[in-house]
Amino acid sequence: MKVKTSITLERELLEAIDERYPNRSEFIERLIRKELWEERKREWEARDAELYAGHAQELNTQALESLEDQTEP
């Protein structure tokens, strides 16, 4: 469900949007959705990096053992 809202933008910005996009609301909504998605993605990646960092030694040991197993006759 869409809800009407009001935002304040610089006139030049609004004019630039209107020159390029016939539906201002759709354009702004798309940009907000994209930014929210990117923000979530950055949060997930930061969380994953913390998890990997916390287990780095164990993961490295396992990787080295796996490589050693592959090189043994």
Residues 5-47: pLDDT tens digits? 999 999 999 999 999 999 999 999 999 999 999 999 999 999 9
Q: How confident is the model at residue 1 (pLDDT cuts 50, 70, 90)?
A: very high
pLDDT at residue 49 tops 70: yes
Q: How confident is the model at residue 48 (pLDDT cuts 50, 70, 90)?
A: very high
Output the pLDDT for position 73.
65
The C-alpha atoms of residue 33 and residue 54 are separated, in whole angstroms, by 32
Average of per-residue pLDDT across 45-64: 89
Q: What is the DSSP string of 36-57?
A: HHHHHHHHHHHHHHHHHHHTHH
